Amino acid sequence: MTVARRIAAPLRKIGSLLVSVGLTFLGLTCVTFVIGRVIPIDPVLAIVGDKASNETYERVRLQLGLDQPLLEQYWHYLVKVVHGEFGTSVMTAHPVLDDLLSVFPATLELATLSLVIGVVGGIPLGVYAAVNRGRWQDQLIRFMSLLGYSMPVFWLGLIGLLLFYAKLGWVAGPGRVDVGFDDMVPAVTGLMTIDSLLAGEDEVFWNVLSHLVLPSSILGYLSLAYVARMTRSFMLSQLKQEYILATLAKGLSPFRVVWIHALGNVWVQLVTVIALTFGSLLEGAVLTETVFAWPGLGLYLKNSLFAADLNAVLGGTVLVGVVYIVLNMLSDVVYTLVDPRARGQGT
């Protein structure tokens, strides 16, 4: 009975979510479409170049459907986007979707590992700081997370490379894998750690991991700083609640009071923080990916922006938007798991 309810409630929630997701997606494409029209880049010129004749220009304009009414153009655009057609990238001459599918896993791999570092490190540190509020442990953790906030990531990346790659040789350098290992494992998921394990290439796996460690530690540190800071302030407000006094009056150990009761309530708030952190990591950390020559979404978007490659930019924007929509959806589902009040049924 309760098990059925536990499952049914999230399902109902997912149904209503899908509707809002559809609407959000419509809004997102609307925005990208408008950007594509108002941006002072002539899409025709971008293709034919400024030396083309008037006839060529006109022909391409008709091909692109730019003579049609705006609403009709939007409809065509929407249909294409839904089918995953973002046009061809001028920069790479590949369909934008193919490009995105090849760069996004690189970012996903980096972002996921960074998030794990941020969450696994940040939450305990935040809790520990809150429990020791005002003492040196708290000061130290706050200083560390302030540092994470204020340090320019490209500088951190360069110093990291200089120290751990160039000087100490503990980790591999820029890129996802050594050139020698390039194309050694077939891309199944696009996540090279998993692909290399699937192919049974241990050597490649360790090399990939060695490349991954430094950039993900740096991004992880930034996430950790944020997560720790938020956890600390959420904890402080929970520790003031009456139910904490009640758990103490029951004679519970400080461990249970802090890690089960207070943190159990903090999770509810942390879900949003974690989802947003993951979102900003998945957008592609432009600076980190640039410093580490990481062929991910951030680097791709940066390059296509500089090349005025509109199809690529808009395709990437839609992808980032979709990532956020999915993350929001996921966090709404997770909410119903960690917060009984969000399950929204009566007694």
Partner 1 sequence: MTDTLLSVRNLRVVYPGDDGDFHAVRDVSFTLGRERLGIVGESGSGKSTTGRAIMGLVAPPGRITADEMRLGDLDLTRMNEAGFRKLRGKRIAMVLQDPKYSLDPVMTVGDQIAETHRQHVNAGRKAARLAALEMLEAVQIRDPERVYGLYPHQVSGGMGQRVMIAMMLIAGPDILIADEPTSALDVTVQTQVLAIMDNLVRSRGMGLILVSHNLHLVSSFCDRVLVMYAGRVVETCAAGDLANARHPYTRGLLAALPELGHRRAELPQLQRDPAWLEGSL
CB 343 to partner 1: min, Å? 9
Decide whether 24 or 331 has the Cβ nearer to partner 1.
331
* Distance of alpha carbon 12 from alpha carbon 257, whole angstroms: 33
51 lines the binding site for partner 1 (CB under 8 A): no
In angstroms, give the least distance from the CB of 252 to partner 1.
6
- Judged by CB, which is closer to partner 1: 145, or 265? 265
Report residue 323 CA to chain centroid gap. 7
Asked if 264 interacts with partner 1 (CB under 8 A), we say yes
Give 95's strand partners.
88
User: Over the range 230-257, which residues count as b (16 or more CB within 10 Å of their CB) and which as e?
Assistant: bbbebbbebbeeeebeebeeeeeeeeeb
The answer to whether residue 242 forms part of the interface with partner 1 (CB under 8 A) is: yes
Contact with partner 1 (CB under 8 A) among 75, 82, 243, 293: 243
Minimal distance in Å, beta carbon 274 to partner 1? 17
**Binding residue count for partner 1, defined by CB under 8 A:** 26
Q: How far is Cα 227 from Cα 224, in angstroms, rounded to an integer?
A: 5
State the Cα–Cα distance between residues 86 and 314, nearest whole angstrom: 8
For partner 1, give the closer residue by CB, 101 or 342. 342
Closest CB to partner 1 among residues 11, 248: 248
Check binding of 253 to partner 1 (CB under 8 A).
yes
Gap between the Cα atoms of 88 and 97, Å rounded: 8
Residue 246 near partner 1 by CB under 8 A = yes
Letter for the amino acid at 40? P
The nearest distance, CB 184 to partner 1, in angstroms, is: 48
Stretch that binds partner 1, among 115-123, 151-159, 264-272, 281-289 (CB under 8 A): 264-272
Q: Which is nearer to partner 1, 49 or 254 (CB)?
A: 254
Binding mask 308-347 for partner 1 (x = CB under 8 A): ------------------------------xxxx----xx
Does 7 participate in binding partner 1 (rule CB under 8 A)? no
Judged by DSSP in three states, 88 sits in strand
Rounded Cα distance, 170 and 214, in Å: 10
Neighbours of 43 (CB within 10 A): 19
Nearer to partner 1, 48 or 268 (CB): 268
Q: DSSP labels for 260-317?
A: IIIHHHHHHHHHHHHHHHHHHHHT--HHHHHHTT--SHHHHHHHHHHTT-HHHHHHHH
Check residue 256 for interaction with partner 1 (CB under 8 A). yes
Residues that bind partner 1 (CB under 8 A): 2, 241-243, 245-253, 256, 260-261, 264-265, 267-268, 338-341, 346-347
